[in-house]
């Protein structure tokens, strides 16, 4: 199947941002403030991959292109991969494991609190992303848990909005994309509910499956 052939290429493309950072690292291209540069690029890509992962279900529903669903987990896991790099930069390069300072920073600076919340919420999602975990939790419970990805994305956007001293266009664009994705989800939910009313023989499970409940 073509998905199998394309997947490794998509996987490789998702590694390009990391590759660029490594390349810049070796060629002295990380600017005068490398820690800030790495933090910003890994933060950007965390948010981008989160939004891409969240866009898969609405796109699949709009286009009817079922194969898109096969990429959702990969994008979600790449969001987690980049947030791990983002947080590791903060933990190791920025604070060098000074846990007391880190604790104070997370408590005192609201944008760090928001970012940390997003990061913590993504951990159970990454840990339960395997087929085995889906089976163990059961589809309905797994889908409910994975709705946390929306809260993580909100936390990520708020983190960005709060960290910029003057609100610029970029965080607002991310916020707008997230709002559209929420709107699409609401729309599908309402459509599924209407379908349930029109055809009561459909079980709520069928309708939830039609709506692609986990993002």
CB 49, min distance to ligand HEM, A:
9
156 binds ligand HEM (CB under 6 A): yes
115 binds ligand HEM (CB under 6 A): yes
Distance CA(95)–CA(155), nearest Å, equals 22
Task: Count interface residues toward ligand HEM (CB under 6 A).
Answer: 24
Contact (Cβ atoms closer than 8 angstroms) between residue 38 and residue 30: yes
Cα-Cα-Cα-Cα dihedral sign, residues 55, 60, 65, 71: positive
46 binds ligand HEM (CB under 6 A): yes
17 binds ligand HEM (CB under 6 A): no
Residue among 51, 159, 192, 211 that touches ligand HEM (CB under 6 A): 159
134 binds ligand HEM (CB under 6 A): no
Distance CA(64)–CA(78), nearest Å, equals 24
Phi, psi of 69 (to 5 degrees): -60, -30
Exposed (0-12), middle (13-18) or buried (19+): which is 211, by Cβ within 10 Å?
buried
36 binds ligand HEM (CB under 6 A): yes
119 binds ligand HEM (CB under 6 A): yes
Contact (Cβ atoms closer than 8 angstroms) between residue 212 and residue 60: yes
Where do contacts with ligand HEM occur on this chain (CB under 6 A)? 36, 39-40, 43-44, 46-47, 83, 86-87, 90, 106, 112, 115-116, 118-119, 122, 152, 155-156, 159-160, 163
């Amino acid at each position: 199947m073509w998905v199998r052939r394309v997947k490794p290429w998509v996987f490789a493309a998702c590694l390009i941002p990391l590759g660029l950072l490594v390349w810049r690292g070796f060629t002295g291209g990380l600017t005068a403030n490398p820690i800030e540069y790495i933090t910003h690029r890994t933060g950007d890509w965390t948010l981008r991959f989160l939004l891409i992962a969240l866009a898969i279900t609405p796109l699949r529903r709009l286009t009817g292109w079922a194969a898109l669903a096969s990429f959702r987990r990969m994008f979600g896991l790449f969001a987690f991969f980049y947030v791990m790099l983002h947080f590791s930069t903060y933990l190791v390069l920025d604070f060098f494991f000074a846990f007391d300072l880190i604790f104070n920073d997370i408590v005192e600076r609201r944008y760090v609190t928001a970012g940390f919340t997003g990061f913590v919420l993504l951990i159970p999602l990454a840990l339960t992303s395997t087929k085995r975990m889906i089976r163990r939790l059961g589809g309905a419970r797994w889908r409910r848990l994975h709705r946390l990805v929306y809260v993580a994305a909100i936390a990520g956007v708020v983190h960005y909005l709060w960290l910029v001293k003057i609100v610029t266009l970029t965080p607002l664009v991310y916020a707008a994309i997230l709002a559209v994705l929420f709107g699409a989800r609401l729309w599908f939910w309402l459509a599924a509910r209407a379908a349930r009313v029109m055809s009561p023989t459909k079980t709520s499970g069928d309708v939830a499956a039609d709506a692609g409940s986990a993002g």
